[in-house]
Amino acid sequence: MAKAQKMVSIRLEADDYNFLSSLAAADKEDLSTAVRDLISRGRLFLALDRYREGKASLGRAAEVAGVSVSEMMDLLTAYGIPADLSVEDYRESLVALREIW
């Protein structure tokens, strides 16, 4: 099922616009798709950085990245970031399990 979409209009520096245009052309996609891909990747790296810096719990990092906690754990491993699971992380996991089951 497709996610609901909203339209956003932004102003970009010419260099940023040219970069996005060339990125879209290289990947043979439209500008909107290139921007959405860049945002998705940005969310992931923001989540990884916040987790690494101790500014986000595992659950919060997963929310920022737009993935499940399990996927976030796999991403931490893939990017070589040690999991620093706290008591709060375990509590969040238990809450999530209760909601699923």
Rounded to an integer, what distance in angstroms lies between the CA atom of residue 57 and that of residue 64? 10
Instruction: Determine the pLDDT at residue 16.
Output: 95
Is 80 exceeded by the pLDDT of residue 37?
A: yes
pLDDT band at 97 (very low <50, low <70, confident <90, very high): confident
Contact 71, 41 (CB under 8 A): no
pLDDT digits (tens, 9 = 90+) for 44-89: 999 999 999 999 988 899 999 999 988 998 999 999 998 777 677 6
pLDDT digits (tens, 9 = 90+) for 11-25: 999 999 999 999 999
pTM of the model: 0.75
Phi, psi of 14 (to 5 degrees): -55, -40
The whole domain housing 64 covers: 14-100
Is 80 exceeded by the pLDDT of residue 93?
A: no
Residue with tokens 């990092």: 61
Domain count, the chain: 1
Instruction: Judge whether 9 lies within some domain.
Output: no
Encoded tokens for 53: 């810096």
Instruction: Judge whether 7 lies within some domain.
Output: no
SS3 assignment, position 25? helix
Would you say how long the chain is, in residues?
A: 101
Instruction: Judge whether 1 lies within some domain.
Output: no
Crossing angle (nearest 10°) for helices 14-26 and 31-52: 110
